Amino acid sequence: MRIVPVELGDRRYEVLIGDGARHELPAAVASTVPQAKRAAIVTQAGIGVPVDPGLPFDRFTVPDGEEAKTLPEVERLCRGFAQAGLSRSDVIIAVGGGVVTDLVGYAAASFLRGTPYINVATTLLAQVDAAVGGKTGVNLPEGKNLVGSFWQPRAVVCDTDVLSTLPPREWASGRGEMAKYAFLAEAFPGAPKRTPDASLLGLALDEQVARCVAVKAGVVASDEREGGRRAVLNYGHTLAHALEASAFDPRSGWDLRHGEAVAVGLVFAAMLARRLGRIDDERVELHRRVVGGFDLSDRLPPGADPDRLVSYMVRDKKAHHDLTFVLDGPSGVEPVPGIDPLDVVATLAQMEQSEAGSRP
């Protein structure tokens, strides 16, 4: 069992990683929420990962997919908690992927103005990223995660054994988030000095998860509420969120998982950084090698409209009312505000031209 701490003073918690880690849940509940008399377990119908919190519990099921991340679903959960008699001293347990941990974390932050919760992450995406760090939220028609809060879990359980049943698309989604961590080697004060490379590809699964979690834990500890440095965790996400927002339109015809969109966003960010003179061709190729090494595509979806994507990028909650991107550069990955939209459109056009040139 690997244990990665998230150092947040009196709100410190641990991420448990390994085969069979979910069986440590009763001990995690007892040690982090010792006053709890009852639990609420929230999951999705298709997850099928049994957990025992060591307490009497009520079970709640939420819809599959991003459709679950809505304000009405938060209300439904909170009403269910109230009807079950859950108190602020009890515990809520999210069992699922990033959709579940995002939704349940926000419901826990809202119910009784803050109820303890624990994440049991059952997808690769959740284990390496979504379940750790305390960013919770739901979607609006105008975009992803526009309503939410910072509410840290009491513990995170990452049982790598349950990943064996994931379908290929879920593996791809998790690997897209994992790929960004290859470039965040020096993302927080005190981080070990390591030049970004493709070494993450060669690690065993639990080591891959632990390395990603360790980087995220360090970033979160240095900037919990995204006042500055934590923004590096959004590497590849500005375009990714624009692609996902565009996919909400049924006319798009796209079927992109979050991590698949991030993979495209990582290569786009590298190409934009090169256009701005921040990195060279070799560094762009490293991005392509890492993304390709995880069997991910770096191509824009067919029919992607650059102007429409730019409009979504400006609207993205991380854009700060201008075009801000997290970009690689001489000092590593960092937020860069005030990007000219013409450079963004030109880079998107370059991606389209590269794709057209590679087709037979």
If residue 84 lies in a helix (H) or strand (E), which one and from where to where?
none
| Annotation marks residue 282 as catalytic | no
Q: Which of 234, 244, 274, 334 is catalytic?
A: 234
d(CA 93, CA 156): 10
d(CA 36, CA 47): 25
d(CA 289, CA 301): 20
| Annotation marks residue 211 as catalytic | no
Q: Which of 241, 257, 274, 287 is catalytic?
A: 241
The phi and psi torsions of 331 (rounded to 5 degrees) equal: -100, 15
Q: Which of 177, 186, 244, 334 is catalytic?
A: 177
| Annotation marks residue 237 as catalytic | yes
Q: Which of 113, 251, 321, 359 is catalytic?
A: 113
| Annotation marks residue 318 as catalytic | no
| Annotation marks residue 226 as catalytic | yes
Q: Which of 23, 76, 226, 278 is catalytic?
A: 226
Kindly state the tokens that stand for 33: 């929420």
Surface-to-core class of residue 65, CB atoms within 10 Å of its CB (0-12 exposed, 13-18 middle, 19+ buried): exposed
Q: Which of 69, 144, 180, 230 is catalytic?
A: 230
Q: Which of 154, 175, 211, 237 is catalytic?
A: 237
| Annotation marks residue 216 as catalytic | yes
| Annotation marks residue 230 as catalytic | yes
| Annotation marks residue 193 as catalytic | no
Q: Which of 175, 211, 257, 258 is catalytic?
A: 258
| Annotation marks residue 241 as catalytic | yes
Q: Which of 22, 216, 257, 274 is catalytic?
A: 216
| Annotation marks residue 321 as catalytic | no
If residue 165 lies in a helix (H) or strand (E), which one and from where to where?
none
Specify whether the CB–CB gap between 260 and 243 falls below 8 A: no
Crossing angle, helix 168-180 and helix 258-275, to 10 degrees? 30
Q: Which of 14, 22, 119, 135 is catalytic?
A: 135
Active site residues: 113, 135, 177, 216, 226, 230, 234, 237, 241, 258
